[in-house]
Amino acid sequence: MTRLLVWLRQFGIYRGAVDLYARSGLFRGLVIAFIPVAWILVLTIAPYAQMVLISFYERYPLPPDQTVEFTFRHYGSFAERPLYLTAFIRSFVFASLMTALTLIVVFPVAYFISKVAPRGQRTRLLLLVIAPFWISEVIRSFAWMIMLSNSGAVNSLIAWLGLSAEPFEMLYTNLSLSIGVLYLTSLYMLLPVYSALEKIDSQLLDAAANLGAPAWKRFTRIILPLARDGIVSGCTLVFLLVIGLYAMPQLLGGPGTTLFAATIGQIFSKAGDSWPQGSAFSLILIGAALGYVGLFTVLFQSRRRRRAS
């Protein structure tokens, strides 16, 4: 390899390019920055810019020989039908509740792995709970469909135990959706919370205990404040994940659990000039979600972190 590169140096063009790269800061900057900047402009910024533009168009694609008309009516249409507003509010309530539920379920698990389990086993226990991380959202939904359907595992078990002859309607409800979503979100919460807890010096807790601090006080005065940034970033991740969920609510949810992401998806699966409305709704979702998460972060992130950033 090195020999090839040295051999290449006998060619003037190659040598010139390499020397130019070594000498000219501008050329070096161009070589390094060209692809990233082009990608950011074309595939990160441009699609959203176009989305903003389309959301103000009267119709899209533009009919030929017609001037562009700008309108706010697609944003207005959001408030017109209660269907949209209901799905929107349901999305935010559901995502907030799921975030809280995920934290409640995952925190003791993360605490157990990072503080209670023997040191030598921690990696193994952590691997055990992050193993399902790599399974597709659709496959996870399928697994829970098998568990919760009327002829599924849970209902069969209930019938076999003789608890109830009638199957419980669990699939296509809020219950099945919550169980499935928790399956998806728990690992996004686990990793940040675990790494925050792992950093807490156990001697700090021992010292507090020796000085007579009861367990609940050690929890509220030491563990929670020190794990705060991990909890906040876990909650942010989970909330944004749930608000954008599309496949799982359609597989595990029912007509009564339509979320706003599905509303947007439906608008886009309609043919014709529904793009402006879909764009407006997408931007409403982004704006509201980022605003909500931003407020949450400002309220709960520790002052130390805020000052540092």
Partner 1 sequence: MMRLRHFALPAIFWLFVAYLFIPIIVMAAMGFRDSNFVAFPIQNWTTRWYQSVLFDKDIAQSLWLSLKVAVVSTLIALAVGLPSAFLVARTTGIIRAALVAIIVLPAFLPVIVSAIALRMFIGQLGLETGPTAIAIGHAASTIPFVVLMVLTRLNAMNPNIADAARNLGADDVIIFTRIILPYLAPALFGAVMFAMLLSFEDFVRSFFLGGFEQTFPVLLFSKLRFGLDPGLAAISTLVLLISTAIGLYADHFLRRRRMKNGIMS
Name residues contacting partner 1, limited to 153-172 (CB under 8 A): 153, 156-157, 160
Residue choice 99, 102, 114, 149 for contact with partner 1 (CB under 8 A): 149
State which of residues 136, 202, 203, 210 lies at the interface with partner 1 (CB under 8 A): 136
Closest by CA position to 69, among listed 77, 78, 60: 60
Distances (CA, A) of 153 to 146, 177, 296: 7, 17, 39
Sequence-separated (6 or more) residues with CB below 8 Å from residue 60: 54, 273, 275, 276
Binding range to partner 1, per CB under 8 A, among 65-73, 80-88, 129-137, 191-199:
129-137
Number of Cα atoms under 13 Å in the Cβ half of residue 228: 17
Q: What is the amino acid identity at position 83? A: L
Residue 77 interacts with partner 1 (CB under 8 A)? no
70/133 with CB nearer partner 1 = 133
Positions 173 through 232 that interact with partner 1 (CB under 8 A): 183, 186, 215
Type of residue numbered 202: S
On the question of a cis peptide bond just before residue 61, with omega within 30 degrees of 0, the verdict is: yes
**Structural contact between residues 269 and 244, judged by C-beta atoms closer than 8 angstroms:** no
Span of 28-36, 65-73, 79-87, 195-203 interacting with partner 1 by CB under 8 A: 28-36
Which of these ranges, 40-48, 193-201, 223-231, 296-304, lies near partner 1 under the rule CB under 8 A?
A: 40-48
CB of 230 to partner 1, least distance (A): 17
Minimum separation from the CB atom of position 168 to partner 1 (A): 14
Q: Which stretch binds partner 1 (CB under 8 A): 44-52, 65-73, 161-169, 223-231?
A: 44-52
From the list 173, 144, 174, 168, the residue with the least C-alpha distance to 156 is: 168
Pick from 51, 101, 208, 226 the residue near partner 1 by CB under 8 A: 51
CB of 252 to partner 1, least distance (A): 10
C-alpha 124/C-alpha 28 separation (Å) is 45
How many residues sit in the footprint of partner 1 (CB under 8 A)?
A: 91
Q: At what angle do helices 275-300 and 73-80 cross, to 10 degrees?
A: 70
Q: Which of residues 83 and 215 has its CB atom nearest to partner 1 in the complex? A: 215
